[in-house]
Structure 1
Amino acid sequence: MLKKFKFTDKAIKALPDNPRTSNSTELEVTDTVTQGLKCLVGKTGSKRFLFRYTYNGRKQSISLGRLGDINVAVARQIAQKHRVSLGEGVNPKAERDSTAHLTVNEFFTEHYLPSIKKRKKTWRDDQYRYDVMIAPRLGNLFYRDLRTIDVQQLHLALADQVNKYGTPYAPATCNQALMLMKSMTKYSVNLGVIDDDVCLPVKLFRLNNARTRFLNVYEVKRLLTACREYSNKTLAGYIAILALTGLRCGEVANIKVKDIDVSKRVIHIPITKNGKARSIYLTDAMLSFIAHIPLTADNPYLFAGKAKGKPLGSARKTFIKLLKKAQINPDGVCLHTLRHSAASNLVSAGVSLRLVQEQLQHKSILSTQRYAKLTTESMRKTSEKLSELFS
């Protein structure tokens, strides 16, 4: 077997176990691409990456992580980082040991947050979840002292905790905090701050993502009537545009006046959740609401918030008020229900899933199918159609 070759994930996975009759505990193979990068294979098939180097005339090594926790690309990245440190006269071991006293708070603030700010549009959501849900329980722990049971207890405790509205955190919200911890911890392993991913064994709460509550056509009509009659035209227009387009709340809130082309009857959405620009075509109903929205001279947003230069914040209280005015039971209804309702009503009206997918800008048709819940009437018609085939 070759002891030196170009590492690939496939080649490393295919390495045979170190023979039980071997005098050495682990079989060592060397990467021909990154100097010093090794992979050690145990007699039980375990595989881990190692970086060997010489510092001040002494041979030393540093563990990079196990296969599965990291892959070849990450191992090369870490090894290359250590080579840069050596070039600057710094011992990689000393540099690694300096992170041993990083608290979870320090790691999030100094390493994780700067990283996601550059690659994640919703980094503020992660910062809020960390500050409110994670930091109070785990923030002051040294990351190297963090245990799986600590993460498990956080996840379970959040289920009994109340949010700012005085209601318990939903399972999905608890899962979002856990997923943030999982992402942070995986990143800390990749950076060599800790050796093992302690979050890996902790399981997410099982969710039922199928929404059964949506507004039918008649309820949406009554809601739009309530919006027309409401005194605050900014809030009413915001809720009406959500209902009439199926756009996400953030996409509507961030519409700027310059994004609207009345002559071409188009709203340009520069950035969606999927990271792509898109356009929504304006109907007469949409234009009638937009025409009544008061514009603010020092605010570029169509739906201007109270803070200078900022878009509208939460419209939750107004939405509940308008639902009641429209004689709609608000139980199980949130602003996102309007997006779900738009898809459901379009499908019930015979619009193809492909067109609904385009309207809602889902990456996958499976997401559209999840929203396309059938109404009682459409199910009745389907049953009648089936009976007609045999009559």
Structure 2
Amino acid sequence: MSTSLASSQRLTITFLNNLKSNPSNAKSTDYEVNLSAMKDSGLPTGVRCLVGKSGGKRFLLRYTSPVTGKKASIGLGKHPETDIPTLRKLSKEYRQQILEGIDPKLERDNQAVDKAMTLERFFNEVYLPLAKQKRSWKDEVARFRLAKSIHHIPINELTAAHIIKVQMEMQNGLSKKSKPYAVATINRVIALLKTINKQAYKLMDAPFIANKVSLLKEDNVRTGYLSEQQLKEFIAYALDYPDKQTGAFLALLFLTGARDKELRFRLWSDINWQEQSINIPHTKNGSSHVLYLSDYMMEILHSIPRIRTNPYIFAGRKHGKPISPARHALRTIKEKMGLPDMPGDKANITLHSARHTVGSLLASQGVPLHDIAKQLNHADLSSSRRYAKLTVGRRREIGSRLSDMVSLGIPAGQ
């Protein structure tokens, strides 16, 4: 609620004292009085008095941040603790900072947290709101919990020794499942801490120590992959799986090399039937990606029972939701194929093995690395300029290579 006053009204202590409380049945917590518009107020534009339901009065300066371009506000104190001369002085100082391109709230907050903000507070209040723009932000929350022993360290006092401490604790410790942490898991936690430090360095001029900590050496083969014959057998079992949505999902996952969530959350509206493609609007890399499908893959799509009330291609049992991660179905198929289920073993077949399977089999067919990278939507290859110029025809040819390799004699809609 906002209250406008005639320009003839003067700003005085008596006026502020006489402001009535916000009605208890009002929708908003406070109502605002535009103090800047009052006669001879001596205040810059944007100064407001907010009056609460209990009668409390506080002063704000509303402005557009010259840093973010968004609407912002900064507190100027409370009545009667902050008198009118102090209100004028403080609001004018802040308005001058704004004219000079400085956001006074960001400036004040940074100065206030330099000494007091812990690593945990920085993560929750500064890093996480930015990280939530990524689809993987929940993973980062889980990883940050594993660094609990240094959460209390002030962000400006974080050292390489603190990060190495977490690294050593994880190397010598056990997970909740009472198993040693995988090297890849440790590295993800350490990489997150390094990224947090880089962010603190940029935003708060904290000491930059991220480059002093090295990640542990990893075996590049994180999961196993299927041979050409195994893939053919896998597709046959997948298409014969009782739940047709889940079976079709696994078949297309291992034929395209797509990421699990990026394929599982696709809508029927993402399919371009004429172009024989599926559009993925948002990928792990932050960009869109198009999966070009072979005739065989299109047959699989056509064989999927369509649920009118569910927009997802791979419709789950819950109303309006996609299928859950197909781990149970994967274990069932592995059992039929005689493949052991060995969690944590680098030779184990997982959902991520779809990407390794596609990459390794395309490579065995002589497909160049940059073409494989485009199929798998990798973003960090130095040859990105080269593979970014691939024609649609070339992309479609690469996408069809695996299905041509394994589809002979396998009906798409078993």
The answer as to 2:127 corresponding to 1:115 is no
Mean CA deviation greater in 247-256 or 174-183:
247-256
Superposition pairs of residues 181-192 of structure 1, within 5 angstroms: 181-192=193-204
Please state how far the C-alpha of 1:314 moved relative to its aligned partner.
2.5
Change (3 A) 1:167 1:302: farther
Three-state SS of the structure 2 residue aligned to 1:291 is: helix
Taking structure 1 as reference, are residues 232 and 204 closer, same or farther at Cα in structure 2, changes over 3 Å only? same
- Work out the CA distance in 2 between the residues paired with 1:289 and 1:99: 57
User: How far apart are 1:258 and its partner, in Å?
Assistant: 0.6
Return 5+ residue gaps in structure 1 as ranges: 1-55, 57-79, 369-391
Q: Which residue of 2 aligns with 1:328?
A: 339
Match of 2:373 in 1: 357
Query: Compared with structure 1, are the counterparts of its residues 306 and 114 closer, same or farther at alpha carbon in structure 2 (3 Å cutoff)?
Result: farther
Alignment of 1:371-386 (within 5 A): none
Give the equivalent residue in structure 1 for 2:191.
179
Q: CA RMSD in A?
A: 3.4
1:237 aligns with 2:253: no
Partner of 1:260: 271
Partners of 1:93 and 1:295 in 2: CA distance: 56
Instruction: Give TM-score, length-normalised by structure 2.
Output: 0.59
Contact 2:223/2:350 (<8 A) preserved: no
Whether the aligned pair in 2 keeps the contact of 1:347 and 1:356 (CA below 8 Å) is yes
| Conserved 8 A contact 1:354-1:365 | no
Deviation at residue 243 of structure 1 after TM alignment: 0.9
Q: Which amino acid aligns with 2:260?
A: C
Conserved? CA contact 2:156–2:207, under 8 Å: no
Count of matched residue positions in the alignment of Structure 1 and Structure 2: 284
Aligned to 1:378: none
Residue 251 of structure 1 corresponds to 262
The CA distance in 1 between the partners of 2:173 and 2:315, in whole Å, is: 33
Give the superposition deviation at 1:177.
0.8
Correspondence for 1:106: 121
Under a length normalisation based on structure 1, what TM-score does the superposition of the two structures give? Answer: 0.62
* Residue aligning to 2:20: none
Report the 3-state secondary structure (helix = DSSP H, G, I; strand = E; otherwise coil) of the residue aligned with 2:207.
coil
1:334-345 to 2 correspondences below 5 Å: 334-345=350-361
Contact persistence 1:242–1:338 (CA under 8 A)? yes
- Following superposition, the deviation at residue 154 of structure 1 comes to 1.1
Q: Cα gap change, 1:181/1:264 in structure 2, threshold over 3 Å: closer, same or farther?
A: same
Supply the AA of the counterpart residue of 1:133: L
- Distance of aligned partners of 1:327 and 1:187 in 2 relative to their CA distance in 1, 3 Å threshold: same
Q: Quick one: which of 310, 315, 330 aligns to 1:304? A: 315
Deviation at 1:203, TM superposition (A): 2.0
Cα deviation for residue 181 of structure 1 reads 0.8
1:348 aligns with 2:359: no
Preserved contact between residue 223 and residue 356 of structure 2 (Cα < 8 Å)? no
State the shift of 1:270 in Å. Answer: 1.9
**Separation of aligned partners in 2, 1:284 and 1:327:** 30
Distance 1:241 1:191, change over 3 A: same
Distance 1:172 1:294 in 2: 38
Give, in whole Å, the separation in 2 of the partners of 1:254 and 1:184. Answer: 30
Identity score, percent: 29
In structure 1, what is the Cα distance between the partners aligned to 2:112 and 2:316?
48
Pick the structure with greater CA Rg.
2
1-structure distance, mates of 2:273, 2:109? 62
Q: Which residue of 2 aligns with 1:151?
A: 163
SS at match of 2:290: strand
Q: Does 1:283 align with 2:294?
A: yes
- In the TM superposition, what is the alpha-carbon distance from 1:184 to its structure 2 partner? 0.9
Quickly say closer, same or farther: Cα 1:165–1:303, change in 2 above 3 A. Answer: farther
Is the counterpart of residue 126 in structure 1 residue 136 in structure 2? Answer: no
For residues 202-242 of structure 1, the C-alpha deviation after alignment (integer angstroms, 9 at most, x for no partner) is 22111121468421111001111111221122222221111
Distance in 2 between the 1:276 and 1:84 partners? Answer: 32
3-state DSSP class of the match of 2:315?
coil
1:16-49 per-residue CA deviation (whole Å, 9 max, x = no partner) reads xxxxxxxxxxxxxxxxxxxxxxxxxxxxxxxxxx
What whole-Å deviation, never above 9, does each CA across 1:276-311 have from its counterpart, x for those lacking one?
A: 333323334323433343444454222234555444
Distance 1:294 1:191, change over 3 A: same
